[in-house]
């Protein structure tokens, strides 16, 4: 089995690459999706967040107010406080799933999609290097990342100049809290460049897939 980290900064397109790898047969675990599930009412992570950040991050229907939580975390510089609650739980759950997959399919390629592979402090003493056999980085120019963030946040709706500037500022703020693509590339085994069309990214994924499969058989 091969354990692969798929990472990239906000708006780089790692989720798109993840879907492409999944279509080819990879087992893909999304850290963001796991985190969202754990932040649902009734979950231990939900309770910990509500207790730590207070009632202002809980909506009237009992769900977390993700916008309010994001504002507190990013605008007020409390990201690490949020990460300290979410990351350990997500990493533990991923380890359990990877172990199950390994037992069922020794030749599997398991890809963990996460923006903060290198940044998180909650991956054990050896950090990311003990969790993964290979790291795949998806990169894009910062202007492209910011534009994708705005598009995703608004779903293409028309924005005023003030609204657009606010979202772009938020994107830059979040990117500033992630290490640079240059640094990530120096730590990664493979780099996919996503500054063009989806077809161009898919071509790169298609080229890399048989390499990962071969490594899974010999790991």
Structural domain for 15, as ranges: 2-218
Q: Which of 29, 214, 208, 210 is nearest to 136 (CA)?
A: 208
For 106-124, the pLDDT digits (tens) are 999 999 999 989 988 876 6
Cβ atoms within 10 Å, residue 99: 12
Write down the pLDDT at residue 126: 67
Q: CATH no. for residue 153?
A: 3.40.50.300
Task: Name residue, tokens 């009412």.
Answer: 41
pLDDT tens per residue, range 69-116? 988 887 777 888 999 999 999 999 999 999 999 999 999 999 999 998
**Domain total in the chain:** 1
Q: Does residue 203 register a pLDDT over 90?
A: yes
pLDDT in tens, 18-46: 999 999 999 999 999 999 999 999 999 99
pLDDT over 70, % of the chain = 98
How far is 165 from 208, CA to CA, in rounded Å? 37
pTM > 0.85? yes
The predicted model gives 157-165 an average pLDDT of 85
User: Does residue 217 sit in helix, strand or coil?
Assistant: helix
Residue 208 has pLDDT above 70, yes or no: yes
Average pLDDT of span 47-68:
93
């Amino acid at each position: 089995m091969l354990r692969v980290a798929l990472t990239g900064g906000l708006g780089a397109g790692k989720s798109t690459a993840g879907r492409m790898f999944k279509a080819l047969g990879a087992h893909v675990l999304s850290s963001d999706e796991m985190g969202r599930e754990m932040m649902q009412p009734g979950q231990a992570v939900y309770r910990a967040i509500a207790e730590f950040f207070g009632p202002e991050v809980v909506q009237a229907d009992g769900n977390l107010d993700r916008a309010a939580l994001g504002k507190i975390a990013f605008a007020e510089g409390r990201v690490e406080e949020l990460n300290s609650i979410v990351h350990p739980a997500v990493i533990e759950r991923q380890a359990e799933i990877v172990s199950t997959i390994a037992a069922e399919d020794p030749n599997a390629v398991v890809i963990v999609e996460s923006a903060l592979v290198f940044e998180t402090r909650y991956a054990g003493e050896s950090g990311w290097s003990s969790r993964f056999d290979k790291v795949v980085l998806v990169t894009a120019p910062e202007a492209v990342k910011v534009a994708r963030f705005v598009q995703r946040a608004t779903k293409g709706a028309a924005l005023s100049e003030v609204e657009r500037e606010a979202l772009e500022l938020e994107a830059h703020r979040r990117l500033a809290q992630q290490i640079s693509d240059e640094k990530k590339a120096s730590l990664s085994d493979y780099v996919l460049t996503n500054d063009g069309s989806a077809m161009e990214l898919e071509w790169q994924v298609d080229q890399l897939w048989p390499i990962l499969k071969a490594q899974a058989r010999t790991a």
